[in-house]
Amino acid sequence: MKLISLLLALAVSASPLSQAAPAKKPGKKSTHSRAKAGTRAAARTAAPLVAVPAAAAALAGDAIVFSESEAVIAFADELALRHGFPRAELGALIGQIRYIDAAVQLVKPAPKGKPKNWQNYSRVTIEPIRIRAGVAFWNQHAAVLARAQAEYGVPAEVIVGIIGVETIYGKNTGRFRVLDVLTTLAFAYPEAPNQAARMAFFRGELENALLLARKSHIDPLSMLGSFAGAIGMPQFMPGSVLAYGVDYDNDGNIDLRNSAVDVIGSVASFLVQHGWQPKQGGPIVYPARVSDDRVWESFLNQGLAAKFRGDELRAGGVSSSAALPASQRYGLIDLPNGSEPTEYRIATDNFFAITQYNRSYFYAMSVIELGRAIRLARSGQPLASGETL
């Protein structure tokens, strides 16, 4: 379907699309003036379609009008030149895009509160609803999961774990219009030390979203996602869909919103292209014990990569109840538990590949443990009390 016909249809209907703010996930990111902070609502719905001067909107506390932003207009000019988008069509599309204050509020750093607590986090993510849904998803798509495991070397339980943590198998994919939140964050990102870098990132993703819509022959305003613009069951950013998405059902289209088959193949593809080692085998993480002298602290915070040999860890006071293959490299990760003792794991390359999906130890551990819990539940073997690995 041509973009111009879609825009004409939208202009005729002019029906506002409500925006419901999804729950914020952990470890999840101006040339145009922003509306007054004191008048913003954290879950504001879409702005009016009727444009008013930007200065008047700001004084009144209304949402920014992107069609009047010089930065947005210049960006559209660049897109038209670079990708051949008809400029008039881009202008019409921009007129339909709305400022979403909830996105601005949700990307702000969370206020300092209670210390991080892995046990609390894991109780929220590795729970009966996700486990039951994961068993059903695995049973329904067992053949595809087995195919992906054979072709990519990514275990089915890891793929199932990621989709479960991300959206509970499509239950919570987000209801923001992707173009709305990407434009908002690209041109009205809140003040922060990394503001310029984050705005550049979201401008790139806005460009990718338009390219994805054109490639997929879909209305660009029909794409719904998270407050940061992530799409579909696996919550891929538009650029990731273009770079790592797989047409795994061979229907000629990559559809991460409706095709679980494409989702499975795309998650496996993403991990392999971000360092997953299919031939590594063995556990993804190992239990770890640390000595009292704390020499091992030098192994912490060494980036999202496995850098150390097993003998180096042992010499530094890190040991495991399991044998560590000498051919592999490892990293030491910490899982704080608030006022309770911190837990530690010895992580492999494949653990750090999962952190490329979400740069959080908690996230990667929850994927691993949810996937394992689903595998055991599916085979009728519940987790033992207190078991984590």
State the catalytic residues.
Answer: 166
Tokens of 47: 């702005």
Q: What is the DSSP string of 302-347?
A: --SS--B-HHHHHHTTEE-SSPPPTTS-BEEEEEEETTEEEEEEEE
**Strand 340-347 relative to strand 176-177, pairing:** unpaired
- DSSP-based three-state secondary structure for 246: coil
- DSSP-based three-state secondary structure for 159: helix
Residues 6 or more apart whose CB falls under 8 angstroms from that of 379 comprise: none
Q: Phi-psi region for residue 22, left (φ > 0), alpha (ψ -120 to 50) or beta?
A: beta
Instruction: Say how many Å lie between the first and final Cα of the chain, rounded.
Output: 49
Can you tell me the distance from the alpha carbon of 189 to that of 184, in angstroms, rounded to the nearest whole number? Answer: 7
Q: Which residue's structure tokens are 């925006």?
A: 19
Q: Which residue's structure tokens are 């030149």?
A: 81
Can you tell me the distance from the alpha carbon of 301 to that of 149, in angstroms, rounded to the nearest whole number? Answer: 31
For residue 350, the tally of other CB atoms under 10 A from its CB is: 26
**329 touches 349 (CB < 8 A):** yes
Closest CA to 163 of 174, 171, 153: 171
Burial of 23 per CB tally in 10 Å (0-12, 13-18, 19+): exposed
E strand segments, the chain: 176-177, 224-225, 285-287, 289-290, 318-319, 331-337, 340-347
